[in-house]
A and B are shown apart, each in its own frame.
Chain A
Amino acid sequence: MSTPTAVRVWESQFLVYRRIWLSNVLGAFVQPFVFLLGMGLGVGALIDDGPESAEILGTSYLAFFAPALLATTAMLIGVQTSLWETLDQFMWGNQYRAMVSTSLRATDVADGAALWHATRIGIATGGVAVVLLLFDETRTPAIVPAMAAGILTGLAFALPVSAYSSTRHDDRTFVLIIRLGLIPMFLFGGAFYPVSQLPDWLEFVALVTPLWHGIELCRGLVLGTLSGTAAVAHTAYLLAFAGVGWIACRVTFARRLLP
């Protein structure tokens, strides 16, 4: 029985990852745990005592903030694997080039890379999920679909960004993407406070970013506040980003690898 081509690509990525898996997996758990302790408990104690806090958040600050970490972590890891790690395999390490010299096609490489992004994002959101299970307010079986929502959020970033990276010949713009793209989204995407707190124009910007949709989806699932329509709308929005990104990858990878 033959192994699907994308899985063969995935295997090679996994073999390299095996060397760093322990620190990576531990980090996936420790980082959100520390973050949540600091923000959720520390800042949370301040906020929960404030006036109108319960009306605005509808819950404790920890329970409000924690599920958003599923989405924000997914975004950060998704972009991390799709900037330098992706460009490296085109340019410096050349692993992708080696692959298309075998019976694999450029589209197989794109598919395998997507599968690998999903895995790495899955590991990271898994770490967050474990942390969420430690707290009474966020301990729910809905963590499973929420993790899936996190992975989808990560792919909504990873795939379009990979397509972009695959067209680059240096990494000059990568830091800009993080500083001007990711960090503002992280700050204004509704992870730390409801976007309704923002001025109208900024709120509108937040609603357009895929991160906000990912956060809403994860939060709604974990807290059980998600309506059916909202679930469908957020999922569709994220799927659109991931889907377009995936198709773009299949095109740009082929262009890069088969000049």
Chain B
Amino acid sequence: MPTVDGPVIVARELHKQFDEFVAVDHVDFEVEPGESFGFLGPNGAGKTSTMRMIGCVSPLTSGTLSIFGLAPEADGPRIRARIGVVPQADQLDAELTVLENLLVYGRFFDLPRSECKRRASELLEFVQLSERAGDRVEPLSGGMKRRLTIARSLINEPDLLLLDEPTTGLDPQARHVLWDRLYRLKQRGVTLVLTTHYMDEAEQLCDRLVVMDEGRIVAEGSPRALIEAHSTREVLEVRFEVGQNEGREPDLIGVGDRMETLPDRVLLYVADGESALAEVHRRGLDPVGSLIRRSSLEDVFLRLTGRSLVD
């Protein structure tokens, strides 16, 4: 892999608007070489629009974007030649075989046929699809199609791989196989940029991430740092009789740094779950159930982007 001096991606005041609708609202971020960087956010937060601008398939409305030190407007084809794209919806050619899908894609980059074949067989090995090389794409499972899409995105040996919700809709086994492959790519020095709304995926794969909401970046940092900055160390979940949870709020004030009441339970954000639970009992409250857990990225996410449904 050729090395890159300075950040792979630099976005300044990056803005994307479709008519009146603001998809991405003046965001700034940088991605370093070899880094694995995530965009986390609910549906409609602007993640895909941002990814498409980085992928040079969507012109900026305003702001600046530099990828490998080049500008998308002027050097789209040159930049894309060094990028691999795994779109949200597979864009495989259902009429072609697994192998042909890779060969065709390699030809788009003008790789010689022999080189396409060599890389294709290596990549099929890498994504564990060698045995399906001659099969049509259509009967493949979702996980296989996604792996094939990843193989296809690597045919040009990209320095930067863009993955838009890479594991949405896959079963746990398929997700873990995929994560493993992505982790290996990272070890080889490929810069990964991904979007996800799965917290475990973000924690697994991302060195650093930004949380997006309504087109803006609302937080940035490593998964650990985000939890430290936006949540407490532990969460105490207490459960009262159905319908009683809301009424308990006044009695629980001050137990935690922050409290959140859901229809079926009350979440108390606390430094120490055990002592908080003791305090709950000391106040004479008798929850029917309780659970102490570590704060997760999900808590940060919900805190920053809210619980209401977006779409």
Contacts and interface: CB of A to CB of B under 8 A. Distances in A.
Interface in A58-106: 93-95, 97-105
A16 B77 contact: no
Nearest to B84: A101
| Interface-central residue, B81, B105, B109, B110, by most chain A CB under 10 Å | B110
B57 interface: yes
Contacts of B77: 103-105
B302 interface: no
Interface string A137-150: 00000000000000
Contacts of B107: 3, 8, 11-12
B76 A97 contact: no
Given A15-B104, A101-B85, A259-B58, A95 B93 contact: yes
B225 interface: no
A19 interface: yes
A2 interface: yes
B91 interface: yes
A102 B100 contact: no
Interface string B6-33: 0000000000001000000000000000
* Interface size class, chain B: 20 to 34
A99 B92 CA distance: 11
Contact of A93 (B87, B94, B105): B94
* Interface size class, chain A: 20 to 34
| Interface-central residue, A3, A94, A103, A259, by most chain B CB under 10 Å | A103
A22 interface: no
Contacts of A16: 93, 95-96
Given A101-B85, A258-B59, 20 more contacts: A3-B110, A8-B110, A9-B108, A11-B104, A11-B107, A12-B93, A12-B104, A19-B95, A93-B93, A93-B94, A95-B91, A97-B57, A97-B91, A100-B57, A101-B80, A101-B83, A103-B78, A103-B108, A103-B109, A259-B58
30 contacts: A3-B107, A3-B110, A8-B110, A9-B108, A11-B104, A11-B107, A12-B93, A15-B96, A16-B93, A93-B93, A93-B95, A95-B91, A97-B91, A98-B105, A99-B108, A100-B57, A101-B57, A101-B87, A102-B105, A102-B156, A103-B77, A103-B80, A103-B81, A103-B110, A104-B108, A105-B76, A258-B57, A258-B58, A258-B59, A259-B18
Interface of A: 2-3, 8-9, 11-12, 15-16, 19, 93-95, 97-105, 257-259
